[in-house]
Amino acid sequence: MIAPTLTKDEADAHSVFTALMWALGHPGCEQRLPTGGLRAFEAIGAALIDLETSFYTPDGALAHALARTGARLAPIDAAHYQFYPELTVHDLDPLHAAPVGSYAYPDESASLLIGCRLGSGLNLTLRGPGIQGSSTLRIAGLPEGFWPLRKNAIRYPLGWDMWLIDGDRIVGLPRTTVIEGY
């Protein structure tokens, strides 16, 4: 059997998508992207969103780049993919409106992609599926009040799946992950 040859863009998108899935399947474990910084958010957008999806970001330059995927820019209460290269305290109040899905359609929740600093700051304890016993995650750069907001948004199967991004490193936190220590 002959496998098709991927272009560099296709190979990068495949690598990004694979890293995103591994990150959600192994909560708290770092994965690597082929690029870092704001380009990481653009690369993730290229791998996740398309003509049939919606997105939100407060970052104008990123919104312009993500629009090239064909996805629709939507208000925070309707966007299924939400990109925050820097989550600020001013973003927390509007974030309350991010979709958590419904019991009939839990997949209509928002997926959050948030910039942070991994390896310093709060020492969080993670528990849940994909974690043997518990694990720890050190994270900084998120506003005070974010973790309680996330906890209140999750009523399994409702809630947000999220990825934390630091340069070319990502960590996945599905809605099934219980987070303590904030």
Domain ranges of the chain: 8-180
pLDDT at 4 over 90: no
Phi, psi of 46 (to 5 degrees): -65, -30
Q: Kind and range of the H or E element at 126?
A: strand 117-127
Beta-sheet strand order (sheet of 117-127): 135-140, 117-127, 178-180
Give CB contacts under 8 A, 24+ apart, made by 13-18: 13/43, 13/46, 13/47, 14/47, 16/43, 16/44, 16/46, 16/47, 17/47, 17/48
Q: What is the mean pLDDT of the chain?
A: 95
Bridge partners (DSSP) listed for residue 73: 55
C-beta separation of 58 from 85 below 8 A: no
Q: What are phi and psi of 158, to 5 degrees?
A: -85, 155
Residue 3: per-residue pLDDT: 79
**Residue pLDDT, tens place only, 26-81:** 999 999 998 887 799 999 999 999 999 999 999 999 999 999 999 999 999 999 99
| CA atoms of 51 and 179, how far apart (whole Å) | 34
Mean pLDDT for 148-157 is 96
pLDDT at 97 over 80: yes
Fold category of 8-180 in CATH: Rossmann fold (3.40.50)
pLDDT for the residue 1: 76
Inter-residue contact 34 to 15 (CB < 8 Å): yes
pLDDT score for 12: 87
Dist CA 76 CA 110 (whole Å): 9
pLDDT at 164 (0 to 100): 98
Dihedral over Cα of 152, 176, 76, 87: its sign: positive
pLDDT in tens, 113-124: 999 999 999 999
